[in-house]
Structure 1
Amino acid sequence: MTLAGHPLQSNLADEVNQRLIRIMALVGLLGSALIGMSTGSLALIAANRSIVRQSDQISASISTFLQAESSKSEQQRMVQLYRSQTVSPDTDSLDQLVVFDGSGQVLLSSRPSLVGRSLAELLQRGDLGDGVDRASLRCFAQPTPGCRLASRSFHLPWQRTQTEWRLLNQLSFDATPRETRYLVLMTFNAEATNLLVFQQMLLLASLSILILGSLLTVLTLTLKQSLLPGLHQVAETDGLTGLANRRTFMEISEKMLNRGLDEGLPFVLTVIDIDFFKRVNDTYGHVCGDAVLKAVAQQIRVSVRERDLVGRLGGEEFGLVLSSSTTTADSILERVRQQVEASQIDWEGEPVKVTISLGAASSEHLDHSLDHLYAAADTALYQAKSEGRNRVRWAAAPRPASSSANNPSPHKRTADDHSSLAHRVPGRRQ
């Protein structure tokens, strides 16, 4: 019987599947969030570049008609015209345009009420909108050493407005050439940018969830069908004999006994040990010992049924759980013992024969507790060893509740009962 053919499996497969699904879901969510954030950042950068180009065009136009021989009223109408011009729905609209002269006074403005007011006053009252670098703009009206006017700002998604400014230096070639400084301040409504960034982030995040979800689903199914079965086999079986390893044997045994308790089915747990196995290693070497272990495992496996569970507990010790009554199990265990005794392996032209000792405990006489059955079977195995080996011994049934007062109660364990529950390290018998 192989582990893959057993109707019950260990919890390892479910644990690996659940962890794999969680990992893939986390990777998909993180990947989608990263793509959405990257897309939003690119959209925000593109929107800022669009505003920069628009600001450069406006400041260039302002510079042109400031040099032209036009009246101040005409210049004011031009500024107000820029404010009222129609823009596309996906472009930030110009909300305010203000031109300051070299002394920091408003020369032209899309809001006529601001004309003649000072930059310091507007900054103090907050009339220039959010996103204005006040410290930098003060450098224009009151230049001091180390004070530098930044060339432009960068819009962030949580800001409702975006402010840009350009410093203009106009040269006049009259009788006395001179340079006149102007500051062009432009405030844009950022709702279009914020909406565009949000839409692109949402669109790309949705597409990435769909694409990554499909890819990760295919990857998960591929791993579960091709890679995980092999990993389960390696993690659940003993590499030498191909039987269930100790961890898997104990897990499946617990499930079998719980099912037997629910359905009223008898089970027998048996601990098997190879007699004088140390002599085989000392006489023929560990390579021969491995061959003996594989041969004994094969004989046990072919002597039981498909629904029975066989495992290697460690060293030269094996475990066996039979879904049988005590009477049927006794015949099966005797057949296993005889099968091993009759078999041999040829090692460098010399036959090597071994025998096994078996200790068994039945849920018909005890309970369905794995710990109790294992400890009782372990004690019975010690008895088989002490009586000469190569035999099957059964754990004694507890005394009935109707026993006389001289007999211990079934709820009070004797010294032998307590010793049978002691755990031990397998594979140390001779």
Structure 2
Amino acid sequence: MTGQTFYGRSLHKLMSQPAILDGVFAVHKPKGISSADVLRDLQRHFNPSEFWKPWIERERSIREREARLRNSRRKVKRVEVKLGHGGTLDPMATGVLIVGAGRGTKELNKFLLCKKVYETVVVFGCATDTYDRVGKVVSKAPYEHITREMVEETLAQFRGHIMQRPSIYSALKQKGKKLYEYAREGIEPPFEIAKRPVEVSNLEIVEWYPPGTHNYDWPSEEAGLAEKRAVSMVNKAAAPADESHKDPDTEISSKRKQSELDDAIEDATTKRSKESDGSAKPAPATEAASDLPAEIEDKHTTEESKPQPPAVKLTLTVSSGFYVRSFAHDLGLALGSNALMSELVRARQGDFSLDPDSILEYKDLEAGEEVWGPKLRKFLDDYAAKTMENNVTSTPAQSEPKQAADAAATSRSPVKSPARSPPRSPRRSPSPQKPIKQEQDSTEY
């Protein structure tokens, strides 16, 4: 067999092998599941597919070779398609979830820093421990005074470069414990929740919902007295610098509510103390609401009989680190009321959007590989082409200024006569140096 024939057959064999694809794509996350659930669902469809078979076989061979080099007798574990996401979405949220596959998982960090576009529905008059509709109600406030014009005017203070305090219910921990857990145990929070710089480049009203024209209801589950007290403690610790900016009427109202809550807790504690002494019959745990004073119970009943509160749908273009739920909470306070996030859609993250031609739908997965396979191949090919294009266009841009500067410096340098130049010292031969390992440039797009 000649070398040319061998080379030709090897090239044909190489070209006939199925392509091994890696990269980044977007999935339209549905409501009711977590971001981790999305990755598990993708693996359930990807692992047995023909599409990912070449990648799995390559990964298995790599692991087996590494095991032989280590002289390991352990059996190589089952290989699954490697997946990760570029920014989590809450179970209640829908929209763009960026997913990295294979080597694409190494590129996910850059998507955490890009701008995002959200659509959210904010409902006024109610606050929960999580700042959204899946939490427990911790307080209610008047909302009859809120109008569209008032919201439009108030939105101005949330545009541009602002300082935002993260949600109390966010993943902030101290010594492995969430902040609100300290308050729940009656311990003073060990640190202040500091405000962080964020940017809101666009914030507009999409639709205004007057009272009685929508179905965005308040949560039905009321937080217990201990939970309300915990949230109140954390709120106080979270905003110690804001005391001087409080409106007198709002401050009096807040103090009155806190006083009522403290009295309710004290009465409930006294009642439990009497029960332990045998002077009163113990009440079932389900009757905890009856520990509230009559005036508070009547107040809650009256509020539930009021007309439905107003709501508003907003679109926001924000920087990384922005909490939409915190924005909803702060908007309610700025309007002299309460508010919660009822709906959330991530409409765009970086270059990925909800365009049906550029995102993988969940119904595509259920339809089978013959449907999602061609779409996914196109998404990965498009991402690879765009990444290559950005790498090519960015390299000359980095080198051209230096070349131009060198050329300009050479043209401006005067040519000196050899006779006038001072004698040069003998040039030493450079000492041998180790080759410098150059890292591959990862260009953001």
Query: What's the TM-score, normalizing by structure 2?
Result: 0.26
Over alpha carbons, which structure has the higher Rg? 1
Query: What's the TM-score, normalizing by structure 1?
Result: 0.27
- Greater RCO, CA 8 A, separation 6+: 2
